[in-house]
Structures are given as C-alpha cells and as structure tokens.
Copies of this chain bind each other. A is one copy, B any other.
Amino acid sequence: MSAKDVAAKAGVSRAAVSRTFTPGASVSPETRSKVLEAAEALGYEVNHLARGLIRQQSGIVALVVAQLATPYRSELVRALTDQLQAAGKVAILINTDRSDSTVDMALQQAIRYRADAAIVLSGMPERSITELCHRNGLRLVLINRDDSHTSSIQIRLNDAEAARLGLIAFVRSGCKKLALATSEAGTPSLVAREQSFLAEAGKRGIDVICERYGPTGYESGLVLGERLLVRPDRPDAVFCTTDLLACGVMDAARHRFSLAIPDDLSIIGFDNIPQAGWEAYQLTTFTQPVEDIAAAAMDWLSHTETQEKPHVVHLTATMAWRKSVRSGKP
C-alpha cells in the first residue's frame, strides 16, 4: 500500500507515482492514468506523514481550546475546522480543560506533530513556550488573548466599544439602577467588557453595582441573578459579560423573583449564542463574528511570508437587538 507497490503494479518508477499525486507536476497523461488505475486497485492513499516530513510542512493546524462544549466555543471551532478543511488543512483538537499549565502542554504536542500553526482560543501560553513555538516554526494565532509575540497574530474584538454601547442602551431606555454581572475567569475579553462598561458609567456619573462569581456559565448566572436581585437597591438593568451568564440571570429573575423582562429588568449579554435567540430568552446581545474570526486566521495563515512584526486584527461584534431591553423613554 505504498508508492513502491503502486509503481510496481503500474510498471513505472516511484517518482512517477509521486508526481501523479503532486498538483502541478509534469506527468504524461498515459503514465498518469496507469498510476491512477493501479492506485485505485490497491487502495493507495498518499502518506501525509512522510510527505510532511520531507516538505517540512505537515498541513496540520492545532486548535487549542477549553470548554469546548460551550455554545460560543463550539461554534468557533466549527467555523475554524470548516475553513481549515476548505483550505486543504487538517485540524487537531487539543483540549485544555484539565489543568492550566496544559496550554503549554498543548503547544508542545502541536510542535511534536510539526503543526504548521496553532490557534489558541483559551488560556495564555507562557512566554517561554511562545518562544519555543517560534523557534520550531510554529505560527501562533491568538484569539482574544493579550500577549503578543513575533511570528504571531492576534485577533481582537471591539469589546470595549460594545460594552459602552450596552451602557448607552440602558440609559436611553430609562434604566435607573445599573448592574454588571461577570465571572471570575478574568480573561482579557471579559475584563475589557467589564472595565469599559464601568468606565463609561463613571464618565456619566452613574453608579454600577458590580457582582462577580464562579466560572463563566449558566449556573453562575443563576447565582449572580440571585445576589443582585435580593438587594434592597435592586437593579433594573444588568449587563452580563456573556450570554450564558445572561440566561442564568434572566431565569433567576423570572423564576425566583417573578420579575418580568424587560418590564421589571433589562438584560444585555454578549456572544449571541443560539439560545439567546430562543423564544424563552429573546436576549439583546452582541454577535461574535465567528466566520470573520476564522477567515482572518485563515488569511494570515495563507500569507506564508512570515512578517517579523506582530500583527493585530480588529473585528467588530455588532449589536443584535431583541426584547430584553425595554424601549421606553425615561
């Protein structure tokens, strides 16, 4: 089942077989068809391990991700694999849920398989590992990460501007008592949203109740909702740094406090996960441009000229208006 076997069966040299499977190589139509026929008969498939070895590029791209089962993450991974495949590459998926140091482990694994690039969706690689990647010719795509380094690209969102718009929406709709709900994850994008919301409020002299709890998931939202709504100075608007948190807050408001949304409480989230559009939520939020993110990564990967200066791409999450913010005037 190797090229040698095919060559023997077709009565040609191994080189001829190789050329047949190399786009743009010079083979006569006759030998080509002889080779193809023999390959078909033998069930031959080119060995990409061997090919990668000699070509010095494997065609492999590593996807480093935590919390894959989360709506936004799975959507992004889907978009990424989709576009990667369309470009003739193959994705290896590395899960970093177990421990925090595993982002570095993941990158090491990527190096061992001589991946052409690694796309990091979660966690933060150590500087030393980043360096190691660079030395091993592993290009890095950092999505919503902070650290920058040569031979890598960062893809960023307009988190700050979005959060600012969220605050303005609350103010315009006449909300008086504003709150912010976030998790303890402290990832760059979450922090950016939080700080920008707070900063804009401060600029306008508005007080914001700030609550922070647990991991970034639905259950944390439930807890955050409870904490916020039990207060004597109950807020009438909550900006959640994530849709999952927002869903939790909404459910807490409705089912534990019998509040109506948006009449008693306005909510804004971030990500625009599928559930945000479900009838039960109809959440006003910001859309993660997953296809654009994937496209930006692909675009940079296809530009093989390894620019030495760090590269940053800014993408924008646009507001998706639904029904979780009341439209009344002050």
Q: Is the CB of A113 within 8 A of B90?
A: yes
Stretch from A6-14, A22-30, A198-206, A273-281 that touches the partner = A273-281
CB-based contact A90/B109 at 8 Å: yes
Interface string of A210-229 (1 = CB under 8 A from B): 00000000100010000000
A-B contact pairs, 10 of them (CB 8 A): A47-B114, A48-B112, A48-B113, A68-B77, A69-B71, A69-B74, A81-B94, A81-B95, A250-B280, A251-B279
Closest Cβ neighbor of A63 among chain B residues: B93
Which A59-92 residues sit within 8 Å CB-CB of chain B?
Answer: 60, 63, 68-71, 73-75, 77-78, 81-82, 85, 90-92
**CA A281 – CA B77 in complex, angstroms?**
27
Which chain B residue has the least Cβ–Cβ distance from A95? B81
Question: Looking at A52, A218, A254, A279, which has the most chain B CB atoms within 10 Å of its CB?
Answer: A279
Asked if B91 and A93 sit within 8 Å, CB to CB, the answer is yes
Q: Does A169 contact B (CB under 8 A)?
A: no
Is there contact, CB below 8 Å, between A82 and B95? yes
6 closest A-B pairs by CB: A74-B74, A251-B279, A280-B280, A81-B95, A93-B93, A68-B78
A136 at the interface (CB under 8 A from B): yes
Interface bin, chain A = 35 or more
- Is A97's beta carbon under 8 Å from chain B? yes
A96: min CB distance to chain B, Å: 9
Cα A94 to Cα B77 with chains together (Å) = 11
